[in-house]
Structure formats: structure tokens, C-alpha cells
Amino acid sequence: MSVLESFRLDNKVALVTGCGRGIGQAIAVGLAEAGADIAGMYTTRYEETQQQVEALGRRFLPIECDLLEAPVAKLNEIVGQVVGEMGRLDILVNNAGIVRRAPSLEFSEEDWDAVIQVNLKAIFFLSQAAGRIMNKQGSGKIINVASLISFQGGILIPAYSAAKHAVAGITKTMANEWSSLNINVNAIAPGYFETDNTTALRNDPVRSKSLMDRIPAGRWGVPDDLKGVAVFLASDASRYVHGAIIPVDGAWLAR
């Protein structure tokens, strides 16, 4: 197999959470461009992603699920649905996430529980369900979406910071346990990207300028900037990459 062929995802099935917009949509379409069929988990919309995936000649299975409310049994059910309707599950992308902003002295229990539920608990148990299937199949790829906040504390986001640090930790733990099973578990750590989660930051002229002045690349990231690393981690090209947390941040962490 040539190096370019090793990046192909033909006949693979990927489950992508938060597929309807932003980073999740870009990753879903990028995997489809490399040949994968997509099961897309969404809460409010999926149609645009489905259109883009099917325009590439790939299958798309929409799965409605609000991770804020979903019990573990529901996550297991969804993985079973993907296997039942798509035939297999080769790739899981844990992308869906939320952020709640408030000073740590004022941060509420409700906001804490919501962020930890979506950004950490759902990721672990969805990975567990997928890992069981991948173990039976003899191979699999799990890609968690961490954050540059997995390396730093940030401000006004105590629950988000806690969850993203923990995502890096469980990525490494699963890699330690599952690499011998031929399951690659890695994470992407995006920097400041143009998504719904950063709208408030981008609309704040003072905060936006301070962030832009700190990014050596001189711009915010856009979701398509993550397609390449996602395809790499989902493909045979990364077969000996386990437990990595890969920053895609315009050199923010390097500064």
C-alpha cells in the first residue's frame, strides 16, 4: 500500500457526534471525502451535512440524540443501531461539546453538571460502547476532540477546562488499554476556531483582539482546518499513533 492509499477510508463506517455544524460537520465531510460512510449524531439539524456526504457518493445515517439527556443505555443502543444499519463501526469521533461561561466564584452546579455530562461522561461511555464493537471486529479508531484548554486553564470556564483536561487523560488511558487490541485512541486539540461556542468571544472586540494578538498564525481556525488531521487519525496512516493529543491551534501553544 502506498502512503497516499493508507489515508483512504473506503468501506469504513464512522460515527461523528455533533455532526450538524461547525467542527463536527467538517470532520464528517472530510471522512466522507476520504471514502467513509457516515453515521451522524445530531440534536437540532443534520440535513446540510447529509447532503454534502451523499453528494460524495457515501451513505449517511442520521441519529438524533441529545447527549445532555442521554443515559448510558441510550449510547449503547446508538452504537448497536450503527452496526445494525451500516454493517460495522470502524471510527468514532467524539466531537459534540458545550461550554458555559461564568467566574469560578459564581459557577453553578447546573452548569457544571451539564458540561461534564456532554463533554466527558458521554465521551467515555460512547467510547466504551464503540470499543467493545471494535474489539470484536479486531480494529478501530477513536478520535476525541479535546482542546488547547486540555493544556491550559483558560478563564471563566472551570467545568469546560476540567472536562477537556479529563478528555486528554481518558484518551491516554484508553490508548494504554486498547492499543494491544488494534484500537487507536487519540485526540485533536483545536485552538480558537470560528464555531458557535466561540461566538461570544469573537463578538467581544477587546477579548477577540487579545486572542488574535496571541495567535502566531494571525487568524482564527476554521472547521475545514481539522479535516486533514481527522482523516490521518482515522486511517491506516496513523496505525502506530496511540494516546496522542494533537494541537491544531495556529501555534498558540508554541508561543
Predicted confidence band of residue 202 (pLDDT cuts 50, 70, 90): confident
Higher pLDDT, 48 or 206: 48
Q: Could you give the CA distance from residue 176 to residue 160 in angstroms, rounded to a whole number?
A: 24
Cα gap 83→68, rounded to integer Å = 23
Q: Which residue has the cell 457518493?
A: 57
Contact 144, 186 (CB under 8 A): yes
Q: In degrees rounded to 5, what are phi and psi of residue 18? A: 60, 45
Instruction: Please check whether residue 20 is in contact with residue 88, taking contact to mean a CB–CB distance below 8 angstroms.
Output: no
pLDDT at position 70? 97
Q: What's the confidence (pLDDT) of residue 212?
A: 86
Q: What pLDDT is stored for residue 150 in this prediction?
A: 98
Cα 227 to Cα 102: distance, rounded to the nearest angstrom: 31
- Asked whether residue 197 carries a pLDDT value surpassing 80, the answer given is no
Which residues are identified as catalytic?
160
Residue 57 has pLDDT above 80, yes or no: yes
pLDDT given for residue 201 in this prediction: 79
Average pLDDT for residues 72-87, to the nearest whole number?
Answer: 98
Which residue, among 15, 26, 53, has the nearest Cα to 195 in the 3D structure?
26
120-135 pLDDT, tens per residue? 999 999 999 999 999 9
Whether residue 206 has pLDDT greater than 90: no
Q: What is the mean pLDDT of the chain?
A: 96
Task: Measure Cα distances from 15 to 20, 57, 187, 191 in Å.
Answer: 13, 17, 15, 23
Q: Is the pLDDT of residue 67 over 80?
A: yes
Q: How far apart are CA 123 and CA 75, in angstroms?
A: 10
Quick check: 95 pLDDT over 90?
A: yes
Q: Where are the domains of the chain?
A: 5-194+222-248
Task: Map residue 85 onto helix, strand or coil.
Answer: helix
Written as one letter, the residue type at 64 is E
Residue 245: pLDDT band (50, 70, 90) is very high
Would you say residue 165 has pLDDT above 90?
yes
User: 19 or 200, which is more confident?
Assistant: 19
Predicted confidence at residue 200, as pLDDT, reads 77
Of 76, 249, 99, 216, which is closest to residue 163 (Cα–Cα)? Answer: 99
Can you name the CATH fold of 5-194+222-248?
Rossmann fold (3.40.50)
Q: What is the pLDDT of residue 198?
A: 79
Name the nearest CA neighbour of 16 among 25, 8, 7, 4.
Answer: 25
Q: Give the confidence band of 97 by pLDDT, cuts at 50, 70, 90.
A: very high
